Amino acid sequence: EVQLVESGGGLVQPGGSLRLSCAASGFTFSSYSMNWVRQAPGKGLEWVSYISSSSSTIYYADSVKGRFTISRDNAKNSLYLQMNSLRDEDTAVYYCARSIAVAGHFDYWGQGTLVTVSS
């Protein structure tokens, strides 16, 4: 069974940093691209970042470019999102989601981790 479990969320002040993790199991992690998608409270879904299976291709949404860094460790079956210079508008539930390729759909999602940016 495919499982994606996010962790690392919490309360952080504006300008602060946070690192999210996503632990994968039930599939060959190194064969799949991964993504972070977020959802602000009461709002819709927003794609945040993509990383290919080998980490050779990375994309970011304009809203986080230069502040967030996606990475993965295939030996540990883990995906990460380093978030720096956090803003109030980054407050959201962050989901990790699996995809097959850059044009692929998001076929499995984690349960999400809440990040709250507030003073």
Partner 1 sequence: QSALTQPASVSGSPGQSITISCTGTSSDVGGYNYVSWYQQHPGKAPKLMIYEVSNRPSGVSNRFSGSKSGNTASLTISGLQAEDEADYYCSSYTSSSPWVFGGGTKLTVL
Binding site for partner 1 (CB under 8 A): 35, 37, 44-47, 50, 59, 61-62, 95, 97, 102-112
> Beta 68-73 vs 78-83: how paired, if at all?
antiparallel
Output the smallest distance, CB 43 to partner 1, in A. 8
Output the smallest distance, CB 15 to partner 1, in A. 26
Strand, coil or helix: what is 3? strand
d(CA 96, CA 64): 16
List, in order, residues 6 or more apart from 7 with CB less than 8 Å away.
20, 21, 22, 23, 113
Output the smallest distance, CB 50 to partner 1, in A. 7
